[in-house]
Chains A and B, each alone.
Chain A
Amino acid sequence: MSNTGLNRVVRRELHSPRTVAAAAVLVLVALAAVAVGVEIVLHLVGAAPLLVDPGAALTWLRGIPEQPQSVTLPIGIVAAVIGAILVWLAVAPGRRPKHELGGTDRALITDNGVIASSVAERVRRELDLSRGAVVVGVGHRSADVTVRPEPGQSMDRTRVRAIAEAELEDYALRPRVKVRARVLRSADREDAS
């Protein structure tokens, strides 16, 4: 297989296939079509409708302006909201929280959680911090590193950033991730204030 073929697989893996939403919509559309078909057939053979006679349903639809607003308005709004959500699902990129790992000739995809925990570990070790003192969140294009130094320990924001960047550099992520570092005041001073 050519590399471009594998690139396509990687690209697909980084985005949601929207399978669940599409399956739900398909099931509902099929059920609705069956229901309408059944009502039409019942009407044709002159049997009593299950829910509503097709002609009556159409007449009701035409009469929406005359129906009480407390019924029609919520129905309209709910339909519009569901429709907007579906359109959004169709158009939005639907990125999964994953990144492609570069620097090798293999196709590698890693969860953002794996990146975050290993960056946190590296920062923690280099700055000699205790467990839980470093919190890292990795997004699509940015990583937030929050450090809470020990009481009495001085901490430089640029240093934190440099360490996190060095670690991320090692992963050669695609798309690239920008580091934002934050140093919280250490616990003792917070207690004092």
Chain B
Amino acid sequence: MNATNRGLNRAILFVVGAVLLAIGIGAAAAATWPPAAAAWTDRGSGALAWLRDADRATRLSESTRASWLVLGILLLLAVVVVFAVVALARLGGGRSTTVVRDERGEGVQGQVTIRQGFAADLITQALSAHDEILASRVSTRRLRGTDVLQVTVTPRQNVSPRRVAETVAPLLDHLDALLGRRTPTLVTIRSGLRSRIAADESRVN
């Protein structure tokens, strides 16, 4: 659970993929199919000639090879690099340490912030008392301006997810009662290596 912009991810994949696909098909066709080869050479020569003319026409001065065209291309490349770096830096994210932030407080009370560690201790401690739960983890994310609590639970193998839900739900109700408001919570029930290795739940309690 994070604040990654998924639409952007997919848009990047789509654009780069479509360009590669077009170039690849074009090159393969040009290499094997004479009409495509003729068209490729034709267009290529045209584009090269245009580039050369534009390069010459926009020369900065007689003494250099630099032209406005080349500078424009360099600028474009720089924009691409900056965009890529910014997009990379923004992947993931949204991690937060706050469960409840109450900022309308006025007067004596002031502002109230409840940290993630509080909820995490509460929930993982309570869950560790249950035999059918192998492990639990609590994290908070800030998504679209709301703090969302994520409780990840790994039950023993063969334990019904319904039972896990019935174990976790009261704890969340208690947390809500304690905090005095309903906390948006996502409960994730995971299977994993750990539940496969650990012994099944014992039949006799």
The chain A residues found within 8 Å of chain B, CB to CB, are 1, 5-6, 9-10, 12-13, 15, 17-19, 21-23, 25-27, 29-30, 33-34, 36-37, 40-41, 43-44, 46, 58-59, 61-67, 69, 72-73, 75-91, 101, 103-104, 106-115, 117-118, 120-122, 167, 170-171
Contacts and interface: CB of A to CB of B under 8 A. Distances in A.
A74 to B, nearest CB: 9
Q: Residue among B70, B148, B162, B185 with the most chain A CB within 10 A?
A: B162
Contact of A76 (B28, B84, B160): B28
Given A37-B81, A79-B27, A113-B191, 15 more contacts: A6-B184, A13-B186, A30-B81, A62-B40, A62-B47, A73-B31, A73-B32, A80-B28, A89-B17, A101-B189, A104-B169, A106-B172, A114-B155, A118-B158, A171-B162
Interface residues of B, number: 80
Nearest to B165: A108
B56 to A, nearest CB: 13
Chain B facing A: main interface SS: helix
B73 A40 contact: yes
B20 A9 contact: no
B136 to A, nearest CB: 14
Given A1-B146, A19-B9, A67-B31, A87 B18 contact: yes
Contacts of B187: 106-109
A90 B162 contact: no
Nearest to B34: A65
A47 B51 CA distance: 21
A90 B10 contact: yes
A19 to B, nearest CB: 5
B165 A12 contact: no
A59 B51 CA distance: 12
A6 to B, nearest CB: 5
Contacts of A117: 157-158, 191
B27 A75 contact: yes
B104 interface: no
Contact of A80 (B25, B143, B160, B184): B25
